[in-house]
Amino acid sequence: MTSFTPRLQLETLFVLDDAGRIVSTREANPTPGPAFSLIRDASTCAWSTHVDVPDRIADELDAFARSEPPADQLSDPPTRADAYVALLGGRIEHGPVFTFPDGLSASSDIVAITDLSLLERHFRGWKENELPECSPILGVVEDGYAVSVCFCARRTSLAAEAGLETAVGFRGRGLGSRVTSAWARAIQDSGRLPLYSTSWDNHASLAVARRLALTACGSDWNLYR
């Protein structure tokens, strides 16, 4: 199975052009994505600038990023953070990336979601064309409807990024951990690397990572204009 690297994470999150610039997010319904993304682990860094950023600014960002050291502490901002912000401005999103242990369990009540009707009560807004793009979609079903689901928010042939949703009235019961574990097991069984990322201030999401004993392996730092 593929091992985590910042470059792998970058290519899982975003569609890149031939020059390595960000074109869009790698989602069923893609968005433009950040103006600048920097991903670090303890030994390397990977970064990219959006295609809409002028070449002159992109070259300056690239020069700063080339001198960026790996992350000593994943929660620390990049050493050149002020320089990136000075060039682009905008809003920062920063958070950890986790990998999953081997030998994950899958509860017997976890089911594959292949029918849009299972999502209609608690997760309105899904569209039929999203189901194959986000598969495998695994869920806990109660009274005929999914109440917690984990799916491929982004995916490639090498890795997949978890997307997790639990209906408001069903939170606090550990459903998110169970369904995420089952999803990651399915991704591992497919020969790909399952990844789980969040922001440093998303305490509910971080709690899921703790319950599953995930390993923090990298840090995403994104700048949105």
Q: Tell me the per-residue pLDDT of 147-172, one tens digit each, with 9 for 90 and over.
A: 999 999 999 999 999 999 999 999 99
Quote the percentage of the chain above a pLDDT of 90.
95
Largest CA distance in the chain: 57
Report the candidate in 14, 80, 51, 65 with the shortest Cα–Cα distance to residue 225: 51
Q: What is the pLDDT of residue 103?
A: 85
For residue 73, give the DSSP letter. Answer: S
Give CA torsion, residues 150, 39, 222, 182, to 10 deg: 0
Q: What is the pLDDT of residue 68?
A: 97
User: pTM of this prediction?
Assistant: 0.95
Helix (H, G, I), strand (E, B) or coil at 123: coil
| pLDDT tens track for 92-103 | 999 999 999 998
Helix (H, G, I), strand (E, B) or coil at 11: helix
Instruction: Extract the tokens encoding 102.
Output: 């081997």
Instruction: Extract the tokens encoding 127.
Output: 């569209």
Answer for the pair 225, 88: CB distance below 8 angstroms, yes or no: yes
Q: Give Cβ neighbours of residue 58 (< 8 Å, ≥ 6 apart).
A: 21, 49
Mean pLDDT taken over the chain:
96
Answer for the pair 110, 179: CB distance below 8 angstroms, yes or no: yes
Q: What is the pLDDT of residue 6?
A: 98
Task: In whole angstroms, give the CA distance from residue 33 to residue 155.
Answer: 15
Domain range summary for the chain, segments of one domain joined by +: 6-98, 110-216
The dotted CATH code for 110-216 is: 3.40.630.30
